[in-house]
Structure 1
Amino acid sequence: VCSSGVAWGSLQVTLLGAPLHLTLHSPAPCIFEPPGCKEMEVAAIAGESVQLLPVKLPETWTELTWEVTLDSAETYRIVTFNKVDPPDLGSSPHFINRVTFHPESLSLQFDPVKKSDRGLYSLLIDIGGGREDRTKFRVSVFEPVPEPTVLCDSVTCVSETCNYNLSCRVRDGGEHVTYSWTHTAGGAVVPNESILHISLSPRDAHLAVTCTAQNPASNSSTTASAKDLCAGNSVCRIALPTLTPCARNTS
């Protein structure tokens, strides 16, 4: 494992014009990259501004380099910097006019970040004596999750209970999207399912159900009434005259 102590990294995201600063924790940076060293996971939203910010650095160092191996298998040196000369920027057209190195914080800023920027970013610091300090950032980039659509698949009414089957989807399916539900009947939470099966009495049918779609970088929610969703396209297999509405789909 890595040497003892704590290394800090942070992620700064500009969302809807307001900066959001998140702090990431990791085991201490690895000397000579021993097996089993963990990486910092950074999930970013495509088109936003993202900063890879190493907060704690070695007390003494002579030179550092930011480099990356993209998921496309391309490898680039992004910048090399010492305390005497100006930063030596890499010549890769992949990052031109989008990636800025900040000498005061030794950080990299992507503005905007693209899905093609996915990869493993390494901060290599020469601390003298032939030793090298490494901090890694595994950067994943996702599209923002659009507002999901909640649909009524069916409703079956039996005696004093109606059984609703609701589904939730984002357009085009999304990438690494998961779903969870909440509803006002006891504050119940149904995680990681795109389908909700819920049984309600007629007096409870107006309760609100909320579907939340999320990927590792963003989330979006839709709230609706189960009764209102199923009013126009429900299928009533068995219904008593006292249960209203319980319309038959004639389409």
Structure 2
Amino acid sequence: MSPLGGRRCPPALLALLLGLAGSRGFWECQNQTVTHDVTVGGSLCLVPEKPPRAWIEILWKWDINSGKLQKILTVTRDEIVSYPQSPFHGRAKFQQGNLSLCISPVHREDNGVYWAEFEISSGEIIRRCFRMSVWDPIPQPVLKSQILQREFGWCHLVLVCLSPGNVSYSWACAVDGPGQIPEQIPGQIPGRPFQLLRSLPEGAEPQICLCNVSNPAGWSVDHAALTCPGNSNLNSPLMVAMSVGSILSIVGVCCYSCCKEIWKNCCKG
């Protein structure tokens, strides 16, 4: 005999149907996500585009792992918002004006896909999906320069930009002034984007170069002044020879004076 109200759906079949519904929503979101990048400790609001006007309830969810969902909040048409216990409790807020979910501060574990499910009066569910990518904040890089080689009145230098984490590098230097040789050492080194090669003539004005490090959520920059100090004239071959000659002359005069004095003393004796 059938139970009152007609035949009931077996629990196993009910679980399968619910799983299929969730799976359909998951794959639907995978194809319609809007990506947002944010740094750890930052703030982010997910704003649904073109939400249905006839909604009666909104449910914000977080896809923990390929279809396993965590409820974040529920809001009804009469602006009653409920926040179940979740990793977002105390960090998630609902903005009535644009129906958005705002999270602050963002944790590294908040990576993933977020759903806004709109239930409309007909019982249909309409979804808006977002992907949040959480990145580490970027510290200021450390930029160092070193002269690799001197030749023919030019300095060949290398700049090394040091920054931890998964970042991209870009370089910018002041416009080259007159006198730069056309055989300039190539700039960025293939496979070593954190290094830059430059050449400067001796005694030239300092050249400012910037190293910018970035990820999709932020950036940081440092700068260095490249110089090629000229060799002192005291180090030139001519000045060295003159200095050596002067020293030998002084030594010679001293020796002559001493020998002359000794000779006088010997003759008196």
- Length-normalised TM-score, structure 2: 0.63
Residue 186 to residue 63, structure 1, CA distance change in 2 (3 Å):
farther
What residue ranges of structure 1 are gaps of 5+ in the alignment? 1-30, 232-239, 243-251
CA contact (8 A) 2:144 2:224 kept: no
Q: Quick check: 1:52 aligned with 2:40? A: no
CA deviation after TM superposition for structure 1 residue 205, in Å: 5.8
In structure 1, distance between residues paired with 2:169 and 2:222? 11
SS at match of 1:116: helix
Residue 194 of structure 1 is matched in structure 2 by 194
In the alignment of these two chains, the number of paired residues is 198
Q: Quick check: 1:180 aligned with 2:191? A: no
Q: Quick check: 1:144 aligned with 2:137? A: yes
Tell me the C-alpha RMSD between the 2 structures. Answer: 3.3
What residue ranges of structure 2 are gaps of 5+ in the alignment? 1-23, 178-186, 230-234, 238-269
In structure 2, distance between residues paired with 1:71 and 1:196? 42
In structure 2, distance between residues paired with 1:241 and 1:142? 55
CA deviation after TM superposition for structure 1 residue 43, in Å: 1.0
CA deviation after TM superposition for structure 1 residue 182, in Å: 0.3
In structure 2, distance between residues paired with 1:209 and 1:177? 19
SS at match of 1:54: coil
Please list the CA deviations of residues 31-83 of structure 1 after superposition, one character each: whole Å capped at 9, or x if unmatched: 96659724211111222222222253123222221100246986311112221
Residue 129 to residue 42, structure 1, CA distance change in 2 (3 Å):
same
Bigger CA radius of gyration: 2
In structure 2, distance between residues paired with 1:91 and 1:105? 24
CA contact (8 A) 1:76 1:90 kept: no
CA contact (8 A) 1:40 1:138 kept: yes
CA deviation after TM superposition for structure 1 residue 226, in Å: 1.9
Residue 99 of structure 1, aligned match among 77, 92, 103 = 92
Residue 126 of structure 1 is matched in structure 2 by 119
SS at match of 1:62: strand
In structure 1, distance between residues paired with 2:108 and 2:139? 17
In structure 1, distance between residues paired with 2:236 and 2:63? 67
Please list the CA deviations of residues 97-135 of structure 1 after superposition, one character each: whole Å capped at 9, or x if unmatched: 111122333111112111111111111112354533222
SS at match of 1:51: strand
Residue 162 to residue 71, structure 1, CA distance change in 2 (3 Å):
farther
Residue 62 to residue 241, structure 1, CA distance change in 2 (3 Å):
farther
In structure 1, distance between residues paired with 2:64 and 2:152? 59
Residue 89 of structure 1 is matched in structure 2 by 83
Residue 210 to residue 71, structure 1, CA distance change in 2 (3 Å):
farther
In structure 1, distance between residues paired with 2:105 and 2:83? 18
Q: Quick check: 1:210 aligned with 2:210? A: yes
Hey, which of these two has a bigger chunk of strand by percent?
A: 1
In structure 2, distance between residues paired with 1:209 and 1:219? 16
